[in-house]
């Protein structure tokens, strides 16, 4: 073939480009190519790639090599996992998990209530009506005919009816995706926190009788803050006495509430009752021989005693199927509960569909919100993904946000006259640097998991978002609402119980001061960001695209509840398992066909 017969072959896709690049203008100069603005979808696509997102935490975390299987609530093919899910669900709904048999795990973590309890601060033990969940749930008050010792004084600064619990109930939705910590302040953490392994490759660090297995580096007492010098204990307990090897991080918390007085323990296991308390069979004994924080019981004593409650004919077939032994242990109970909780993944969101290629899955507002969420501040975004990372939308680290402090606090001592502050992570570590820092929550299904903040002070997603954008402005608004009484009235109207505000402004100011000092020292800290009202609206709309529709559908959520159509293992009945009957303040069952006694 000679040169005259050769044809220049140019791919069709390039012809337009080359025409623009090589075309000559009238004066003989080269014409530059036209600049084409990327579409919103193209910009989001680039951000998805940059952030290495798959759209589904099951794929990105559950797909890690060696990751424990995330079980299915229905149709689980692994018989052991299936048996543990079944047992865990029944335990989760059993009032036998609490000392006075008036609280179940589900009381604070119901699927219909977003995996929480839909109130700012949980009421805890001694409710007027054990079956009433969410707003309207109240504690029994002195003078109502109940024996005085049955009403522990879980009030703060003399506020009658103050919720017994100091922090908002975190959602159990997505519990199976946490690798580092499963509590607001890191009370229960994994030593390694390896991504996707849910703690099974390391030990659980938790204060089951002080000190924990491992902790912060050795510290001088001068480095400790306030009363947290009690972290230095004079005895140790071997890890094998606390947890089994390879336990899930999420199982580390399973029986903690049972030894926490306002959560599930109530007035049980008081000082002087060790070995002669008639409320359980066999009689409680101080098995470890070490004086613990709960009178003369240790936390391990309490767990063993409570586990003995389930050594009955009704529960035996469930434990045998799940663990090969009819003998219940605290760790087996915790593992079964965690296995059930880990089924609550809820990742089938519009955002997932969008990442997988369905560009119509998001509205225009949600797409604009995605840009605000993922783009850096220099590019006009809010850089939310710097903390709310990955497909689970959290880096699991602890930061100071100066969320306004309400409620009874955690007994952290600022002075001789102020001993009911909440230092967040500092409450656990005893480090000044950790004061007022809390774990970053996941944003999956955030629309359904309010109220927001470690104490539930914000009832709307927009308000907690705006707090992040300008902390001091929202702290000032909080202070004004405390002064004029509007916040107290609003929260009591919403939830039914008065909340302590005695030192709310003072403690909030300390948290804000901590944040300002971090900023001044150029430490990693949240910064103010200026967004328009439209951008805030779009950002909130994007976060709503992280909601799995199942979390809004009682028919769908019924899979996570014992139902009247379920077949129990003989000889179990709803009564012998002591299954609670959740209802709202109108008297309507949260799930109409739930199985209960």
- Collapse the DSSP code of 92 into the 3-class scheme (helix H, G, I; strand E, B; otherwise coil) and give the result: helix
User: Is the fold of 79-344 the same as that of 360-548?
Assistant: yes
- d(C-alpha 132, C-alpha 588), whole Å: 9
Give domain 360-548's CATH superfamily: Cytochrome c-like domain (1.10.760.10)
Mutual angle of helices 533-544 and 461-469, in 10-degree steps: 130
Q: What is residue 227's predicted lDDT score, i.e. its pLDDT?
A: 41
Task: Please name which of 338, 318, 327 lies closest in space to residue 86, comparing C-alpha atoms.
Answer: 318
Task: Please name which of 321, 331, 278, 275 lies closest in space to residue 300, comparing C-alpha atoms.
Answer: 331
Q: Which residues contact 563 (CB under 8 A, 6 or more apart)?
A: 591, 593, 594, 595
Task: Please name which of 171, 149, 172, 340 lies closest in space to residue 261, comparing C-alpha atoms.
Answer: 149
Other Cβ atoms within 10 Å of 69 Cβ, number? 13
Whether omega before 451 lies within 30 degrees of 0, making that bond cis, reads yes
Instruction: Check if the beta carbon of residue 461 is closer than 8 Å to that of residue 128.
Output: no
Low-confidence residues of the chain, pLDDT below 50? Answer: 1-25, 212-227, 233-234, 276-284, 288-295
CATH number of 79-344: 1.10.760.10
One-character DSSP codes across 112-128: GGTTB-SSSS---SSBS
- d(C-alpha 301, C-alpha 256), whole Å: 12
What 8-state DSSP symbol labels residue 399?
Answer: E
- d(C-alpha 501, C-alpha 192), whole Å: 38
Q: Which residues contact 289 (CB under 8 A, 6 or more apart)?
A: none
- d(C-alpha 393, C-alpha 385), whole Å: 7
Q: Which residues contact 111 (CB under 8 A, 6 or more apart)?
A: 344, 551, 557, 560, 561
Instruction: Check if the beta carbon of residue 212 is closer than 8 Å to that of residue 233.
Output: no
Residue ranges of E strands in 296-401: 398-400
Q: What is residue 506's predicted lDDT score, i.e. its pLDDT?
A: 97
Mutual angle of helices 504-520 and 471-483, in 10-degree steps: 170
Q: What is residue 142's predicted lDDT score, i.e. its pLDDT?
A: 64
Angle (CA) 326-331-332 rounded to 5° is 35
Angle (CA) 459-173-99 rounded to 5° is 90
Q: What is residue 457's predicted lDDT score, i.e. its pLDDT?
A: 98
| Domain boundary assignment for the chain | 79-344, 360-548
Total residue count of the chain as it appears in this document: 597
Task: Please name which of 336, 362, 338, 364 lies closest in space to residue 349, comparing C-alpha atoms.
Answer: 362
Q: What is residue 25's predicted lDDT score, i.e. its pLDDT?
A: 44
Instruction: Check if the beta carbon of residue 443 is closer than 8 Å to that of residue 546.
Output: yes
- d(C-alpha 299, C-alpha 293), whole Å: 8
The burial of 260, by beta-carbon neighbours within 10 Å (0-12 exposed, 13-18 middle, 19 or more buried), is given as middle
- d(C-alpha 102, C-alpha 129), whole Å: 8
- Collapse the DSSP code of 431 into the 3-class scheme (helix H, G, I; strand E, B; otherwise coil) and give the result: strand
Residue ranges of E strands in 109-228: 189-190, 204-205
How far CA 252 is from CA of 88, 166, 247, 334, 469, in Å, comes to 14, 20, 8, 7, 34
Task: Please name which of 515, 443, 419, 427 lies closest in space to residue 474, comparing C-alpha atoms.
Answer: 515
Q: What is residue 220's predicted lDDT score, i.e. its pLDDT?
A: 44
- d(C-alpha 462, C-alpha 464), whole Å: 6
Instruction: Check if the beta carbon of residue 494 is closer than 8 Å to that of residue 135.
Output: yes
Q: Residue-wise over 288-322: b if at least 16 C-beta within 10 A, else e?
A: bebebebbbbbbbbbbbbbbbbbebebbbbbbebb
Other Cβ atoms within 10 Å of 49 Cβ, number? 9
- d(C-alpha 184, C-alpha 203), whole Å: 19
End-to-end CA distance of the chain: 92
Q: Helix, strand, coil % (nearest 5) of the chain?
A: 35, 5, 55
Q: What is residue 54's predicted lDDT score, i.e. its pLDDT?
A: 98
* Three-state DSSP string of 467-517: HHHCHHHHHHHHHHHHHCCHHHHHHHHHHCCCCCCCCHHHHHHHHHHHHHH
How far CA 535 is from CA of 243, 443, 453, 529, in Å, comes to 47, 18, 22, 11
How far CA 24 is from CA of 10, 13, 30, 32, in Å, comes to 19, 20, 5, 10
- d(C-alpha 439, C-alpha 185), whole Å: 6
């Amino acid at each position: 073939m000679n040169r005259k017969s050769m044809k220049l072959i140019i791919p069709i896709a390039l012809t337009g480009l080359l025409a623009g690049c090589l075309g000559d203008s009238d004066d003989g100069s080269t014409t530059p190519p036209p600049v084409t603005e990327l579409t919103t979808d193209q910009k989001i696509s680039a951000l998805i790639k940059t952030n290495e997102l798959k759209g589904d935490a099951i794929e990105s975390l559950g797909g890690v090599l060696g990751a424990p299987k995330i079980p299915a609530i229905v149709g689980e093919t692994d018989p052991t996992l299936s048996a543990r899910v079944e047992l865990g669900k029944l335990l989760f709904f059993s009032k036998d998990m609490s000392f006075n048999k008036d609280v179940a795990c589900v009381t604070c973590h119901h699927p219909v209530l977003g995996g929480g309890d839909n109130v700012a601060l949980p009421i805890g033990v001694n409710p007027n009506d054990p079956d009433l969940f969410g707003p309207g749930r109240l504690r029994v008050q002195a003078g109502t005919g109940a024996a005085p010792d049955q009403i522990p004084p879980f009030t703060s600064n003399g506020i009658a009816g103050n919720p017994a619990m100091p922090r908002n109930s975190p959602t159990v939705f997505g519990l199976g995706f946490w690798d580092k910590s499963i509590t607001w302040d890191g009370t229960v953490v994994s030593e390694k926190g390896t991504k996707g392994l849910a703690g099974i490759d390391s030990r659980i660090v938790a204060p089951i009788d002080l000190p924990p297995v491992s902790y912060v580096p050795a510290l001088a007492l001068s480095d400790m803050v306030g009363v947290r010098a009690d972290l230095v204990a004079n005895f140790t307990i071997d890890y094998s006495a606390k947890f089994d090897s390879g336990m899930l991080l999420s199982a580390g918390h399973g029986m903690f509430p049972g030894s926490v007085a306002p959560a599930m323990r109530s007035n049980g296991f008081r000082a002087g009752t060790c070995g002669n308390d008639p409320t359980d069979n066999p009689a409680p004994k101080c098995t470890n021989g070490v004086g613990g924080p709960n009178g003369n019981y240790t936390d391990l004593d309490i767990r063993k005693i409570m586990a003995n409650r389930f050594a009955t004919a009704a529960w035996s077939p469930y434990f045998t199927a799940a663990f090969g032994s009819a003998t219940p242990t605290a760790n087996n109970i915790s593992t079964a509960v965690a296995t059930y909780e880990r089924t609550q993944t809820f990742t089938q969101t519009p955002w997932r569909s969008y990442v997988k290629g369905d560009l119509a899955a998001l509205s225009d507002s949600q797409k604009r919100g995605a840009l605000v969420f993922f783009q850096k501040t220099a590019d006009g975004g809010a850089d939310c993904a710097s903390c709310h990372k990955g497909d689970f939308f959290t880096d699991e680290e602890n930061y100071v946000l100066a969320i306004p402090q309400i409620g009874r606090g955690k007994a952290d001592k600022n002075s001789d006259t102020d001993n009911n502050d909440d230092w967040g992570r500092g409450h656990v570590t005893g480090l000044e640097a950790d004061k007022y820092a809390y774990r970053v929550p996941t944003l999956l299904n955030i629309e359904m998991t309010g109220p927001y903040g470690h104490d539930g002070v914000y009832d709307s997603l927009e308000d907690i978002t705006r707090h992040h954008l300008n902390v001091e402005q929202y702290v000032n608004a909080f202070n004004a609402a405390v002064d004029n009484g509007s916040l107290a009235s609003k929260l009591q109207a919403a939830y039914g119980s008065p909340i302590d505000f005695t030192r709310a402004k003072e403690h909030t100011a300390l948290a804000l001061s901590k944040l300002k000092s971090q900023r001044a020292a150029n430490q990693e800290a949240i910064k103010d960001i200026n967004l328009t009202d439209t951008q805030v609206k779009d950002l909130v709309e994007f976060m709503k695209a992280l909601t799995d529709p199942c979390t809004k559908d009682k028919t769908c959520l019924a899979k996570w509840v014992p139902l009247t159509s379920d077949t129990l293992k003989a000889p179990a009945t709803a009564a012998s398992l002591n299954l609670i009957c959740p209802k709202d303040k109108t008297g309507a069952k949260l799930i109409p066909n739930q199985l209960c006694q």
